A and B are shown apart, each in its own frame.
Chain A
Amino acid sequence: MAEILVLAEHSGGTVKKVTLELLTLARQFGEPAVVWVGDGAQEGRERLAEFGAAKVYVADSAGIGDYVAAPVAEVLASLVSRVSPAAVLVAATPEGKEVAGRLAVKTGSGVLTDAVGLAPAQDGSGPVAEQSIFGGAIIVRSRVRSGTPIVAVRPNSAAPEPAQGAAALEPAGVEPGEAAKAARIAERVVAERGERPELTEASIVVSGGRGVGNADNFALIEKLADSLGAAVGASRAATDAGWYPHQFQVGQTGKTVSPQLYMAVGISGAIQHRAGMQTSKTIMVVNKDPEAPIFELADFGVVGDLFAVVPQLTDEIARRKES
């Protein structure tokens, strides 16, 4: 059976959820083989085995993690020529997409980005990716015509399903060359990490918009998020105003999220905001203007003042969790 290469996203030996999702999708096409770049493969191995990884190719030469994307693309390119996989799956994170772009050039392959679904073609001609474009208005199914299909899949596009795999560790057998080390990460500055899940990976996201009014009031959004174990997002109106850091912006020019539950609080629902959250499974809205377009997307909406509704909701969640 052909191998499907899955690039692992991990931090300090902990496998990210999106990698388990990719493994689940990969099993439709062949035998999933994980590519692990950096330290921690030994620690991550067991988790990968639980989700059906047959092999884990490890590239952990000293300092390989000090560079963005380029060495990873070299490792993948060498594996592509060695094992001729049926496809390469990466997470549609900024770095995943950089890797995908470089790998496409190196191998002369087509690349599909931001897939929200992946299935075998009816005629067996490889994976067909589902993409949601133009702010979510249109769903496109595309496939790769030349080279090895490279697909960047968005987090939360599949539910991870366990399956037993050997996850046998094997050296990838490549040393990235000097050319891949041209841009070096000199320092990692951690502004705020906190305990919240990552925005694109979270199963629940609570976002605040201009209606929140100022930076201090974002504490209300954070409290609600924390009561649900959710990530916090923001509209561009809120990030532009400096109420919340830019990396939490959801939308066209920010992050795209598709959690199980998205809560839009004090957000009107401009098309550019929708572009980043329209594929969420369930959408809940709190807005005082019944005409706000965001209500068109709502599975459940409350027309009301967020300063009354949100604290009450947070308290009620706490009360229900206690009882």
Chain B
Amino acid sequence: MNIVVCVKQVPDTWAERTLRAEDSRLDRASVDGVINELDEYAIEEGLRLAEAHGGEVTVLSMGPEKASESIRKALSMGADKAVHLVDDQLAGSDALATSLALATVLGRIGFDLVILGSESTDARTGVLAAMLAERLGVPQLSLASKVETDGTAITIHRQTDYGYDRVEAALPALVSVVEKINEPRYPSFKGIMAAKKKPVETLSLADAGVDPGQVGLGAAATEVVSFAKRPPRQAGTIVKDEGDGGVKAAEFLAAQKFI
């Protein structure tokens, strides 16, 4: 089975993230980049499916030069090879443009199954999987907490508010995962050494056949009008429990008309 996992490098959520005053874009240079956490679950699921059914796992990432660190990490977890779409003209791409670029590359490299995280921690748009499925014309199975396939058909558990839905489709298909699905492995020493020799294909927009006029900040279908730091919340009332903490809390709730 030919599995492609889409991996995004994002700023570490522990760091303070800011927007640049010049162009309202995420200041990526000033913070450490890590693999978007949910994408580690996507990689793990890809590896498990390839181990069970045979086949290869390819990592696909669009992002600046720096994203190659995250690609190496994915390879050291056990992915076989990677494709890195990197081009300065991609800077400032919105979800629509990102999906166009990734779909074009996916169309070229081919796949039986594409796996994504259901959301990235920086953009948090959570729309990319749907956009890719729409562009590629393949079924989307989203919010997967469990994936089963026999190489022809695929069934997932789609997490819902009340439990889960069992969703079925035929391959090729696209799956997005939630963190409940598995426990991502840590790269082993052997894995880290092996990753250094694994092939990473670097593509420019021209290599990939993506029209530069349709991506990047200039082509973005959305724009930031203004941004500001959230004003700090007004300091609240903090009481120490002297045996009447619950009663005091209830008084507060009553004063605020919650009870």
A interface, CB within 8 angstroms of B: 68-70, 73, 94, 97-102, 104-106, 108-114, 121, 128, 132-147, 179, 182-193, 198-199, 204, 228, 246-247, 252-253, 260-261, 271-272, 275, 278, 282-284, 286, 290, 295-305, 308-317, 320-321
Contact in complex: A247, B161 (CB < 8 Å): yes
A-B contact pairs, 12 of them (CB 8 A): A98-B130, A101-B130, A104-B131, A111-B95, A111-B127, A113-B127, A184-B168, A187-B165, A191-B162, A278-B230, A302-B241, A309-B249
Q: Knowing A133-B124, A182-B138 are in contact, say whether A104-B221 is a contact too (CB < 8 A).
A: yes
Contact in complex: A183, B140 (CB < 8 Å): yes
Contact in complex: A141, B162 (CB < 8 Å): no
Contact in complex: A105, B131 (CB < 8 Å): yes
For residue B219, which residue of chain A has the nearest CB? A146
Chain B nearest CB, measured from A221 CB (Å): 14
Which residues 191-246 in B have Cβ within 8 Å of A in the complex? Answer: 220-230, 233-234, 236-241, 243-246
Contact in complex: A316, B246 (CB < 8 Å): yes
Q: Name the prevailing secondary structure of the B interface residues.
A: mixed
Contact in complex: B225, A94 (CB < 8 Å): no
Contact in complex: A313, B249 (CB < 8 Å): yes
Contact in complex: A313, B140 (CB < 8 Å): no
B188 at the interface (CB under 8 A from A): no
Q: Knowing A110-B221, A179-B137, A302-B245 are in contact, say whether A252-B121 is a contact too (CB < 8 A).
A: yes
CB < 8 Å A-B pair total? 274
Bound-complex Cα distance A136 to B258 (A): 24
Chain A nearest CB, measured from B149 CB (Å): 13
Chain B nearest CB, measured from A138 CB (Å): 6
- Which of chain B's residues have a CB closer than 8 A to the CB of A134? 17-18, 122
For residue A137, which residue of chain B has the nearest CB? B230
B186 at the interface (CB under 8 A from A): no
B158 at the interface (CB under 8 A from A): yes
Bound-complex Cα distance A139 to B160 (A): 29
- Not counting A69-B142, A300-B239, a sample of 5 additional A-B residue pairs whose C-beta atoms are within 8 angstroms of each other reads A94-B143, A192-B163, A228-B259, A246-B145, A303-B240
Contact in complex: B246, A253 (CB < 8 Å): no
Contact in complex: B166, A309 (CB < 8 Å): no
Contact in complex: A142, B164 (CB < 8 Å): no
Contact in complex: A104, B163 (CB < 8 Å): no
For residue B103, which residue of chain A has the nearest CB? A105
Chain A nearest CB, measured from B259 CB (Å): 5
Partner of B238, one of A100, A261, A298, A310: A298
B128 at the interface (CB under 8 A from A): yes
- Which of chain B's residues have a CB closer than 8 A to the CB of A102? 130-131, 133-134
For residue B227, which residue of chain A has the nearest CB? A140
Contact in complex: A188, B258 (CB < 8 Å): no
Contact in complex: A105, B99 (CB < 8 Å): yes
Chain A nearest CB, measured from B80 CB (Å): 27
- Which of chain A's residues have a CB closer than 8 A to the CB of B37? 253
Partner of A191, one of B121, B164, B244, B253: B164
Contact in complex: A141, B164 (CB < 8 Å): no
Bound-complex Cα distance A272 to B18 (A): 16
